[in-house]
Chain A
């Protein structure tokens, strides 16, 4: 794709590593994600993908190394502070407010997105919040279910809701941790469409097991194995890489 070559580096990790006791979950890793791309990270279970993105989103602290976002060292920022500068993470297992209504779920994201600063949320205009929430709900086709308890939605819609809740936060880097896990083929199609749609505006870091989806969506694919990056390239190159086929595709 033409857009890749000219783009700047949005996210960079330098010798970023994490050790859990005796296990080196992520060996010192250098990852560069360019602005505007869809970057997929693939690898077997336990390859360190989720640990790596958790260090990027700030949910866990690295053992060593640094994370740079738009050239700024953000290694010491807390997770909620990283959300404020545009790094948004969606969980591997669907993580929404299951006991609250669909509307409340969306509003919680909307009111955060509309405020600047830590306490700004305390003086928000509710009508503005309502309007924005309506927009998001209609974008994912849940306007009619807004008063339904989120946990009672079909699984695929819960995932759509979770993805939709990332939008109002105005992410620049959206980290999607296995967004199609447990979804039916039809639901996967809907999520894929939404991801393509999102990619027009934001950079996406996608962890995904579904190879077909990765090949369809990603601009660049990074392959991890045993805590280290073993290959990186265009989807076609990765598909044909012998080392990748050996450890990951099992061929």
Chain B
């Protein structure tokens, strides 16, 4: 890749983060909360896209990785009164363990079988959260309001009930996953993932242990999903089993497809569009999923590679 392109790519990505940072000073509180939510879910979509867009593996089990982070962080705060940092780190650790386990079990399959087996495991996880509803409060869930101890960092008190803290925490995580993803996909590792997506047989005959690299991609993807789940618990103070349900596996798939699978910026764009679309249409009619569905079909038909994918194909060929 040309040096000039590298610089242009980095500038674009840093500008997006800068814009997100500046937006909090100009938008009204409602939209600040919307953006916070979008950034948490965009992090989730970035993780999902690493697997779908770059490695070519479509999973319907990411709700399990998301809710592993969500529940680990939520339950340890709720029952064990852990601090935010400990609970957050435990959430990441747990999502690592679960995604590593899944990487060794589910990647024996591929294609539609991979889709089904990840969905099955995820549904088992969902049903487990319902089964232990005396602990998890099942569908109804539980709230962490008042349980989040303020953090003291170098004399500065960080209180998670503050919207400013929430916004910037979400922004930090998003920026981290966004840039990490950019770094990964522009590295030798990312190139191998794309090679696996494009032609796994050839990748193996070039001497790559393709199964090993797919496992690594799934683990990275699962950890990023887990991070967003943990962050959700901390930021929105709510933990419930609806996040373990299959809807929450389909969501990152839709966001990614809408924004552009296999693009670094697509997940953010897709998540942002979708969340605002739902917000807007649900104020018009209670049957808003019909409107959202119709628009999704229109976008996929008009822009098969997604919004950012389409922009890249037509105008900005240098976008990663």
Contacts and interface: CB of A to CB of B under 8 A. Distances in A.
Nearest to A104: B191
Contacts of A100: 194-195, 198
A107 B202 contact: no
Interface stretch (A8-16, A40-48, A78-86, A195-203): A78-86
A104 B320 CA distance: 13
Nearest to A89: B205
A80 B202 contact: no
A78 B204 CA distance: 9
Interface residues of A, number: 31
Nearest to B184: A122
B86 interface: no
A111 B191 contact: yes
Given A97-B198, A100-B198, A59 B191 contact: no
A126 B210 CA distance: 21
Contacts of B206: 83, 108-109, 112, 165, 169
Nearest to A162: B202
Given A97-B202, A99-B198, A80 B208 contact: yes
Contact of A122 (B188, B194, B201): B188
Interface in B200-237: 201-210, 212
A84 B195 contact: no
Contacts, number: 68
A169 B189 CA distance: 17
17 contacts: A59-B205, A79-B204, A79-B205, A80-B205, A80-B208, A80-B210, A88-B207, A89-B205, A98-B199, A108-B195, A112-B206, A112-B208, A118-B209, A118-B212, A119-B212, A126-B187, A169-B206
B184 to A, nearest CB: 10
A121 interface: yes
A88 B207 CA distance: 8
Nearest to A113: B207
A91 B205 CA distance: 9
B201 A95 contact: yes
A137 interface: no
Given A79-B205, A91-B205, A112-B206, A122 B189 contact: yes
A251 to B, nearest CB: 37
A96 interface: yes
A129 interface: yes
B189 A121 contact: yes
In the A-B complex, the 4 residue pairs with the closest CB atoms: A83-B207, A97-B198, A111-B188, A112-B207
